[in-house]
Amino acid sequence: MKPCEIIKLLRSDNSKLFKQEVISQHMDNEEFVEGLQYALTPLITYGVQSVPNAELLGEFHGPELEWSDFKVLLDKLIARELTGHAARDAIVDSMVLSNVEQWNDWYRPILLKDLKAGFSEKTVNKVAKGTIQVFGCMLARDGAKEEKKLIGDVLIENKYDGVRCIAIVQNNTATLYSRNGKVFPNFPHIEAALSKPEFNNMVFDGEIMSENFQALMKQVYRKTDVDTSDAYLALFDVLDLSEFNAGKGSNTTIERKEILAELPFDECIRKVDFTRVNLDTAEGQQMFKNMNRIAIAEGYEGLMVKPVEAIYECKRSDSWLKIKPIIEVTLTVIDIEEGQGKFEGTTGALVCEGIDDGVTIGVNVGSGLTDEMRESIWNNRDDVIGQLVEIRADVITQADNGEYSLRFPRFKTFRGFDVGEKI
């Protein structure tokens, strides 16, 4: 079976088990497996924003383009040997040599890095571990749960309230990724600031920031009519690309900060300040408390605590500890939404509203509800509506329309009764 036919088969059924079975049956198809790698490996990019549809050619197309010839095109795009008009012309030339099905269902989706078949690299790796290189970066643990680790010689930074961004520079070209390996296409000025020979084979870790968080979130993945000119990269770490690919660096935290300090950046790249503190001393502990208080007062999410001698690892690690305040608000349940998917026929979310700290907050919260609670609430919804509920969140937010809500709301408890008791 040809790869384009396999992809069409995969699109025919949404079942995960079905997709895994189909992929498993065709793992001996070299072109299919290589195509999956070209399409799904996050670090492979082609520098193209759009790819024409072969149906535009009508009858003017070839019988078939050999996979080996198409790979030549892919590799040249990856290496940025072809860019701009030259890349566009080469893509069109390849399309003309392909038949419509081959191009539209196989070659074109690879170039767009979207097979539109309802599966990801995780699905492929579940069938055959290690087939697709997994994207990973350093993730912090909750300092409130790791208090015993808040010791020794550390660097303390303000925790920025933005969008995590991993910038990878290859062949004089920077590509911006989310923490999960999705490409951010809408920050060309940040890409340009890092697309320099002196930054080749370097990986920069930071947060994309904007004056307006809500607007920033709208900017992240939109493809048109997006103004991102005010965005900047708050940069707090750097390592070699080979180490990033290996999942583990060699330089300590302070050594990586020293490397950053020597690098010249444009205005849209701003190095995150840090303070060295010894948490084993009373003075250090007091400094830590004062910095946390000041950070919150100045609008930061909290603090990041990083041991001086820690290395960078592409996984969640207690080498980074986040110190974030948790706010709790008490709101009234005004409605109950039915869930979807596995939660169909039970509670999806509590629709809550109330006044806290002088502002009216409206939020839907489902996180934190157990399956038992979802069922009990749904079966007794008339009793639950009107009850007070305590909700934990990171911060109160304000949308462009002036309405207030909560970022990352989590159900804590009903105030005055337990679900299984009163109702």
Together in a domain, 37 and 66: yes
- Pairing, β 316-323 against β 139-142: parallel
Together in a domain, 312 and 225: yes
User: What's the domain range around 348?
Assistant: 327-422
From first to last of the 423 residues of the chain, give the pLDDT tens digit: 999 999 999 999 989 999 999 999 999 999 999 999 999 998 899 988 889 988 776 666 678 899 999 999 999 999 889 999 999 999 999 999 998 899 999 999 999 999 999 998 989 999 999 899 888 899 999 887 888 999 999 999 999 988 899 999 998 999 999 988 888 888 889 999 999 999 999 999 999 998 766 667 666 766 556 677 889 999 999 999 999 998 999 999 999 999 999 999 999 999 999 999 999 999 999 999 899 889 888 878 889 999 999 999 999 999 999 998 777 888 999 999 999 888 899 999 999 999 987 889 999 999 999 999 999 999 999 889 998 998 988 778 888 888 999 988 999 888 755 444 433
Q: Is the C-alpha dihedral spanning 215, 220, 221, 226 positive or negative?
A: positive
Together in a domain, 220 and 302: yes
Nearest CA to 174 among 205, 210, 217? 205
Alpha-carbon span 413 to 332, nearest angstrom = 12
- Which two structure tokens, joined as six digits, stand for 50? 């759009």
Together in a domain, 396 and 347: yes
Q: For residue 249, what pLDDT is reported?
A: 94
pTM comes to 0.70
Q: Which helix (H) or strand (E) holds 73?
A: helix 67-78
Residue 181 located in a structural domain: yes
Residue 132 located in a structural domain: no
Together in a domain, 408 and 270: no
Please tell me the total count of domains within the chain: 3
Together in a domain, 148 and 297: yes
- Looking at residue 294, which CATH number applies to its domain? 3.30.470.30
Q: For residue 1, what pLDDT is reported?
A: 92
Alpha-carbon span 117 to 136, nearest angstrom = 23
Following DSSP, what letter does each residue of 23-72 receive, concatenated?
A: HHHTTT-HHHHHHHHHHH-TT-----S----GGGGTT---S---HHHHHH
Q: For residue 418, what pLDDT is reported?
A: 45
Q: For residue 373, what pLDDT is reported?
A: 92
Together in a domain, 169 and 309: yes
Alpha-carbon span 170 to 167, nearest angstrom = 10
Residue 314 located in a structural domain: yes
Together in a domain, 310 and 357: no
Residue 40 Cα distances to 28, 114, 292, angstroms: 18, 8, 41
Nearest CA to 262 among 238, 233, 294? 238
Residue 344 located in a structural domain: yes
Domain ends where: 73, 105, 127? 127
